Structure 1
C-alpha cells in the first residue's frame, strides 16, 4: 500500500515563456509606418519653407541692391536720373516676375507673358489690394513712357518688399487658389481691354 499523497506526484505548474517584444504586432507596424510618413512629410515641408525663405531673402537682397544702386547713381550731379529710374524699374520688375513664377509655377507661361496693366492686375490680385494698378506700383507700367520721380521709386521699393513678404506669408494652397482666380480675372480683363481697343 502506498500511502503517499497522489497530489505530490503531479508535475509543477509550468509558466509560459515571457512575452517578447519581437516580432511586433501589426498595429505597432502600422503606427511606426505612420510615424515615418509623418516625419518625412514634416521634413519635406520644412525644406520647402527653408527654400522659400532663402528665395525671399535673395529677392529682398536684390531689391536692396537695386535701390542702393539707384540712390548711388542719382546722388551724382551729372547722373541721368531718368535712365537710373528705368534701370531700377527693370530690376524690380525682374525680381517680382521671378517671385511670381516661383509662387505659381503651373502658370509660368501666362505669368511670363504678362505686361502692362495685366501684369499690375496680377500683382494686385496676388497682393490683395490695388496698390499696383492705382498706387505706387503704377510706375512699373508707366515709367518707361514718362520721367520717374524719386518718391515713386521709394514707394515702389516699399510696395515691392511688402508684396514679397505677403507672398511668403500666404500659404501655398492659398496662393494656388488665388492664382486660379487671378487667371480668370486676367482673361476677363484682357478680353475687356481687347474689346475697348477695338471700339
Structure 2
C-alpha cells in the first residue's frame, strides 16, 4: 500500500471565500472614495470658475469703467449661484431677494449685492466696484460651501398658510 499524499496547495491561492468578500469590499470602498474625490474636484472647479468670472468682470470694469455691465454680470452670477441653493430664489425681488441671499450666507452683509438688481435699471449706475466684488466673492464662497448645501433651506419660512 502506498502512503496518502496530500496535494500541494499554496497558502495564497486559491483564496478562501472570506478573502474574496474582503477584496470585493475593498474595491467598493476604493471606488466610492474615487467617486467622492472626483465630485469634490468638480465642485471646486465650479466654484473656482464662478469666482474667476467675478474677477474677470472686475478686471473689465477697471479697464472700461462700465458700471452697468459690471452690475449686470455680478447680478447674473449671484442669481446663478443662488439657483444652485434654491431654484425658486431667482424669481424673488426686493426684500424677499435680500432675505434669500442672507439665508444662503448668513454671516455676510448682502446689502450691496441685493441692491445690484435695482442698480441695473438706473440710468447712471454709481457703485464702488471693488467693494461690491469683495462682498460678492465673500457671499459666493460662503453660499457655495459644500456643508452649506442643504436643499431648499429657506422654504419653510417663505411658505404662507391660508
TM-score, length of structure 2 as denominator length: 0.79
String of CA shifts for 1:28-63, please: whole Å, max 9, x gaps: 122112111111111111111121121112111211
Counterpart of 1:31 in structure 2 is 22
**Cα distance in structure 2, aligned partners of 1:38 and 1:145:** 53
Among 30, 36, 39, the alignment partner of 1:45 is 36
Counterpart of 1:126 in structure 2 is 104
Counterpart of 1:195 in structure 2 is none
Counterpart of 1:154 in structure 2 is 130
Gaps of 5+ in 2: none
Highest CA radius of gyration, 1 or 2?
Answer: 1
| Residues 145 and 12 of structure 1, relative CA distance in 2, 3 Å threshold | closer
**Cα distance in structure 1, aligned partners of 2:23 and 2:32:** 14
SS of the residue corresponding to residue 150 of structure 1 reads coil
Aligned pairs for 1:88-167 (under 5 A) are 88-101=70-83, 103-104=84-85, 107-108=86-87, 110-129=88-107, 131-132=109-110, 135-144=111-120, 146=122, 148-151=125-128, 153-167=129-143
The structure whose RCO (Cα within 8 Å, separation 6+) is larger is 2
| Residues 137 and 21 of structure 1, relative CA distance in 2, 3 Å threshold | same
Query: Would you say how many aligned residue pairs link Structure 1 and Structure 2?
Result: 159
**Bigger helix fraction:** 1
Counterpart of 1:183 in structure 2 is 155
Kept in 1, the 8 Å contact 2:97–2:114? The answer is no
SS of the residue corresponding to residue 20 of structure 2 reads helix
SS of the residue corresponding to residue 53 of structure 1 reads helix
Gaps of 5+ in 1: 1-9, 75-83, 192-199
Kept in 2, the 8 Å contact 1:117–1:141? The answer is no
Kept in 1, the 8 Å contact 2:108–2:139? The answer is no
Which ranges of 4 or more aligned residues in structure 1 deviate by more than 4 Å?
10-16
